A and B are shown apart, each in its own frame.
Chain A
Amino acid sequence: KAGVTQTPRYLIKTRGQQVTLSCSPISGHRSVSWYQQTPGQGLQFLFEYFSETQRNKGNFPGRFSGRQFSNSRSEMNVSTLELGDSALYLCASSPKAGDYNEQFFGPGTRLTVL
């Protein structure tokens, strides 16, 4: 099976712009979670989608949003970018919601905000 794929792998934006990141989960996986990783804060949970519904949300401002499509692919959007949004954004998929699942991470999208 192909792993989790994320596009693009690298992105450079300027403050005030918005960005959309894409994630394709492992075939058959219906849960997609997003995480932000920075040197200062480590890995932090953004949100989780299952069957096109947001199940969980982390402690991030409303500028961070996401959605999931019927084929389980997911996108996350960050509006009005700030310098502090520079990070590695990781997507993870699981076969189902809940029930002690391991998560399969993609390679991440490296976002740099100038």
Chain B
Amino acid sequence: SQKIEQNSEALNIQEGKTATLTCNYTNYSPAYLQWYRQDPGRGPVFLLLIRENEKEKRKERLKVTFDTTLKQSLFHITASQPADSATYLCALDENAGNMLTFGGGTRLMVKP
């Protein structure tokens, strides 16, 4: 069956460290993968998109990698800040459309 797995346990890190979140998928052939941030009581906010033929994308303190052989994406936040505390969701689309399938999300807590 198709699955998108993110670490369901919260990730606690110290301010200034790099946070690394994992997204693994099975039985999908995604055209691209996206990462979103969601704060309590709010809708997800888009962060980064990476296509199937791209290995890495960066945006300010954020970096995402995409390994279609391992069927895995890693999301990194460098120099993390307490304001980065939120739930991070990965989502993929097999058809390059607007039909996203989301992972369960990982809650990140950055402590000062």
Contacts from A to B (Cβ < 8 Å):
4, 31, 33, 35, 42-45, 48, 50, 55-56, 58, 90, 92, 94, 97-108
The residue in chain B whose Cβ has the minimal distance to the Cβ of A48 is: B98
Within 8 A of A (CB), among B34-68: 34, 36, 41-46, 49, 51
Q: Does the CB pair B99–A90 fall under 8 Å? A: no
* Contact residues in B for A55 (Cβ distance below 8 Å): 97-98
Please measure, in the bound complex, the distance between the C-alpha atom of A100 and the C-alpha atom of B30, giving whole angstroms: 11
Q: Which of A44, A56, A90 lies in contact with B97, CB distance below 8 A? A: A56
Return B45 CB to nearest CB of chain A, in Å. 7
The residue in chain A whose Cβ has the minimal distance to the Cβ of B91 is: A43
Return A109 CB to nearest CB of chain B, in Å. 10
Q: Does the CB pair B44–A90 fall under 8 Å? A: yes
Within 8 A of A (CB), among B58-86: none
Please measure, in the bound complex, the distance between the C-alpha atom of A58 and the C-alpha atom of B102, giving whole angstroms: 13
Residue B95 interfacial (CB < 8 Å): yes
In terms of DSSP, what is the predominant structure of the interface of chain A?
A: strand
* Contact residues in A for B49 (Cβ distance below 8 Å): 100, 102
- List the 6 closest A-B pairs by CB distance, nearest first: A105-B43, A43-B102, A102-B46, A56-B99, A98-B97, A42-B104
Residue among B41, B51, B98, B102 with max Cβ neighbours from chain A (10 Å) = B98
Please measure, in the bound complex, the distance between the C-alpha atom of A45 and the C-alpha atom of B101, giving whole angstroms: 7
Contacts from B to A (Cβ < 8 Å):
31-32, 34, 36, 41-46, 49, 51, 89, 91, 95-105
In terms of DSSP, what is the predominant structure of the interface of chain B?
A: loop
Provided the pairs A90-B43, A102-B46, A103-B46 are in contact, do residues A42 and B105 lie with their beta carbons within 8 angstroms? yes
Please measure, in the bound complex, the distance between the C-alpha atom of A92 and the C-alpha atom of B38, giving whole angstroms: 14
The residue in chain B whose Cβ has the minimal distance to the Cβ of A105 is: B43
Please measure, in the bound complex, the distance between the C-alpha atom of A101 and the C-alpha atom of B99, giving whole angstroms: 10
Please measure, in the bound complex, the distance between the C-alpha atom of A97 and the C-alpha atom of B34, giving whole angstroms: 16
Q: List 22 A-B contacts (CB under 8 A).
A: A33-B100, A35-B100, A35-B102, A42-B102, A42-B104, A43-B44, A45-B100, A55-B98, A56-B97, A56-B99, A58-B99, A90-B44, A92-B43, A98-B96, A98-B98, A100-B31, A100-B49, A103-B46, A103-B98, A104-B46, A106-B43, A107-B43
